[in-house]
Amino acid sequence: MDGGSHLSYSCRDQVVWGFGRGYKQLANFPEQVVDNLPADISSGIYYGWASAESRDGQKMVVSIRWNPYYENTKKSMETHTMHTFKEHFYGEILSVAIVESLISAIQDLPELLKLKGDNFFQVSKSKIMNGH
């Protein structure tokens, strides 16, 4: 997949237990979902929409990466919703629509391009600032 292409891929399956981090925002799919990803979806971070059963759709990012747990022989797909649910959603059906590579989306944002020339980034490396 080239960096500028827009995706349109969706999947739906039951959320399975991952490493137990952020269980009110993070969701993992079963291996067969990851194994059936289209070839043009490479490792990376993507954004789109996710909905867990009867809950409203939420903005999300999804990380698709080679998983060191499987000695990098298998990919994993971890969905991170931009909403913290009151309860975990393990066992629920999660619907995910991947829209675009996050890198492509960020490169297209005019607000970020404006910041590129900001004086903050012109400061000598010998000066340390804490954001104020």
Distances (CA, A) of 48 to 5, 92, 96, 101, 122: 14, 19, 7, 9, 34
Alpha helices in the chain (DSSP H): 31-35, 102-107, 110-115
100 is catalytic: no
* Cα three-residue angle 34-109-77, rounded to 5 degrees: 10
Q: What are the backbone dihedrals phi and psi of residue 60, each rounded to the nearest 5 degrees, phi first?
A: -150, 160
SS3 118: coil
Q: Which of 53, 78, 92, 100 is catalytic?
A: 78
Residue 92 CA to residue 13 CA, distance in Å, equals 8
Catalytic machinery residues: 78
